[in-house]
Structure 1
Amino acid sequence: MEQQWKKSLYVYVDQLNKGRVAPGSGPRHTTIRDLRFVEEQQERSRRIAEWYRRRGITPLRGETGVRTVRTVRQNPAEVVADVALHSAFYYEKGGMTHREDVVESERLTFVREKGGWEIVTVEHRVPERSGVRKVVESEPALRLSQWGEVLPSPRPSQPLLNRRVLGGAGRESAVRYRREEAAAYADRWWKDGNPEFEIFEVDCTNYVSQCLFAGGAPIHYTGKRETGWWYKGYNGAQEWWSFSWAVSDSLQRYLSGSRQSGLRAELVERPDQLQLGDVIQYDWDGNGHYQHSTVVTAFDAGGMPLVNARTVSSRHRYWDYKDSYAWTDRTAYRFFHINDYL
């Protein structure tokens, strides 16, 4: 039975892959009975085809792999499975070939029919629209140690403070923001996440903060979760970090703030004003609440930024995210250029 329903899964993945390379061509979804999904995909395909045209890109090929993460329910008549889809998309622009990678999650329900297995529902997981885990709001008050104190941790190499930016007598000295190192870190950990840090259920801003830290951005430790920008790891089972480290809207407010030293940024008007290691934040509903964070890791042949992210793990994705299930026509962006010296 397992191999039979998986044949239907592989047909579905092949259709998704072909649709990414040739959107708007109207491939037949022979294994799908979810009419809502089919209609949404048709509209999405038309939008993506127009998006490709506006960007001036030529799709070349796609490679999509699938992994069954969990079988939620399985019986002779029905299978419900959570799957991860890793899509590598190759395209040409200005004589250059680019590759982007995205790992997305879906829940598929298969039903056995006389002619085989069909997909009756497709549920997309859209964690970019979520905030950081709700458990944050219910955590007890934290008893924080003094600056620099080594905390008990289950991970012996748990990162604490960026001591490379400390001068004599504990004073911070200005350092150059190492953009290439921030981007290299982003490319190293975009898919699985660095196990030396806590990996959150909604991980985008935690990941971006790690990239800034890897580029030399100095920790601003205050001992209060609602202020500063810091990460201190674990004390037993309790994780210690500021909201600005892990919550997109909090990081947006921190980068928008004015300060004399430490992590600072300039809000710029256009994405083509950004450099490697800069930050883009996304307000999907246009209501002033920013829900997603990315870091600039490359540029296309037209000089437009390509970004990395986690939660929906992405590498060298076009900055505007119009292929994301989170995107709406109300989406607003904030473009932060990180100061060269911090």
Structure 2
Amino acid sequence: MSGRKSADLGGMAEGLRAAVHDYVKHVNQAEIELKADGLTGIVSDCDYLARTGRRLSRLEERDRLRGAYPERHESRARLLHIGATERDGEVPVRLELHFKRTLAQRGAGYAEERLETERLWLAEANGRWQIARIEPEIAERRSGASGDPETEDVPQENGRFQPPQAVKSVSVPYLNDDLLPYFNQHRPSIPYRRDLAAAYADRWWQQPNPAYENMQVNCTNYVSQCLFAGHAPMNYTGKRASGWWYKGRSGGQELWSYSWAVADALQRYLSAARAGGLRATPVDAPWQLKLGDVICYDWEGDGRYGHNTIVTAFDREGMPLVNANTVSSRHRYWDYRDSYAWTPRTRYRFFHIADLF
């Protein structure tokens, strides 16, 4: 009996894997053609198909206006987990997708990459597994997520706030010993090493640096690390609601400022005028940015910024390409119209980081 059950489970897993493999193949084709039509035969989730169709349509229009033409698209997948069968007979599957898109523009090419994690629910019908529902597990914006630190307001110093939760802890707080003499001194003699900030962003875009906490919503923590790698000096106040600083975790206590790890808090910090330390100048347009500068994203146009990226390269038109975390991205076009988080109400803030601190 147990042998028959094991055989049944093995057959189910094989069928699930085959269905996921077919899904990935069709997703790759959809990304090449920039049309979701080919997915209708294997995915019955109408909301997903509509979202994907809108996203690919935006991407096609944007590429055309930029004069950028896709030359190649690669999709790799890693099956992370097959869950237990749920009451309705659906089986949840966690899937990591690695997209790499190569574009040609004015005689030159570049590649953009992103990592996405999805949760799929598969149902068996007529002896064949089909995909009933698809949801991104983590996106640039997690709609309706209660307590999501990237979309919550940051309090005043005496307020209450649920800080970003770390995925894992490191035993020793991380500090750059070479820069310790500069903390809180704000001497205007530290050059911002834009090249080092961009190099760090490219080194750690798809895996967390173990010297830091890796947070569930990691985009701002990642951008802050990049700025620090470029020698932006911390303003260590020891208070969560002030300064821009990070020490790690000690005895279960989270030792970093909101501005280090929360999207809207970093946007506010960069917006404020100050005489020294990490500071920035808002500029009007993306083409005014340089390597190592920062873009903040307000998806709903309501003044709350829920995502941050750092400029790591430029296309042939001089427009910025950015790196990010949460949805790990490398050399992605700055406007994020290819993201499910984007809406017609999306607003941006462009920050030119000071050349000297």
State whether residues 243 and 250 of structure 1, in contact with CA within 8 Å, keep that contact through their aligned partners in structure 2. Answer: yes
Q: SS state of the match for residue 85, structure 1?
A: strand
The residue number in structure 2 matching 1:142 is none
- 2:70 is the alignment partner of 1:59: yes
State whether residues 221 and 261 of structure 2, in contact with CA within 8 Å, keep that contact through their aligned partners in structure 1. Answer: yes
- Count residues in correspondence: 326
- 2:171 is the alignment partner of 1:155: yes
Among candidates 117, 125, 129, match of residue 105 of structure 1 = 117
Q: SS state of the match for residue 175, structure 1?
A: coil
Gaps of 5+ in 2: 1-11, 143-147, 153-159, 164-168
Q: Which moved more, 1:212-221 or 1:22-31?
A: 22-31
The residue number in structure 1 matching 2:7 is none
- Counterpart CA distance in 2 for 1:101 and 1:334 is 23
Distance 1:138 1:50, change over 3 A: closer
Identity rate of aligned residues, in percent?
A: 46
**CA deviation string 1:218-276 (max 9, x = no partner):** 01011111110000112122220000000010000100111111101000000010011
TM norm structure 1 = 0.89
Matches within 5 A, 1:160-175: 160=175, 163-164=178-179, 166=181, 171-173=185-187, 174-175=189-190
Deviation at 1:154, TM superposition (A): 4.8
TM norm structure 2 = 0.86
Root-mean-square deviation (CA, aligned residues, Å) is 2.2
The amino acid across from 2:130 in the alignment is: E
Q: SS state of the match for residue 31, structure 2?
A: helix
Matches within 5 A, 1:227-246: 227-246=242-261
State whether residues 12 and 29 of structure 1, in contact with CA within 8 Å, keep that contact through their aligned partners in structure 2. Answer: no
Deviation at 1:165, TM superposition (A): 6.5
The amino acid across from 2:248 in the alignment is: G
- 2:337 is the alignment partner of 1:325: no
The residue number in structure 2 matching 1:137 is 161
State whether residues 36 and 49 of structure 2, in contact with CA within 8 Å, keep that contact through their aligned partners in structure 1. Answer: no
Deviation at 1:161, TM superposition (A): 5.2
The amino acid across from 1:78 in the alignment is: E
Distance 1:244 1:191, change over 3 A: same
- Counterpart CA distance in 2 for 1:170 and 1:266 is 20
Q: SS state of the match for residue 241, structure 2?
A: coil
- Counterpart CA distance in 1 for 2:72 and 2:291 is 27
Matches within 5 A, 1:262-301: 262-301=277-316
State whether residues 126 and 326 of structure 1, in contact with CA within 8 Å, keep that contact through their aligned partners in structure 2. Answer: no
Q: SS state of the match for residue 127, structure 1?
A: coil
The residue number in structure 1 matching 2:319 is 304
- Counterpart CA distance in 2 for 1:338 and 1:171 is 18
Q: SS state of the match for residue 137, structure 1?
A: coil
Q: Which moved more, 1:36-45 or 1:108-117?
A: 36-45
Matches within 5 A, 1:66-215: 66-74=77-85, 78-130=90-142, 131-132=148-149, 137-138=161-162, 154-156=170-172, 158-160=173-175, 163-164=178-179, 166=181, 171-173=185-187, 174-215=189-230
Deviation at 1:322, TM superposition (A): 0.2
State whether residues 33 and 120 of structure 1, in contact with CA within 8 Å, keep that contact through their aligned partners in structure 2. Answer: yes
Gaps of 5+ in 1: 140-152
The residue number in structure 2 matching 1:3 is 14
Deviation at 1:126, TM superposition (A): 4.7
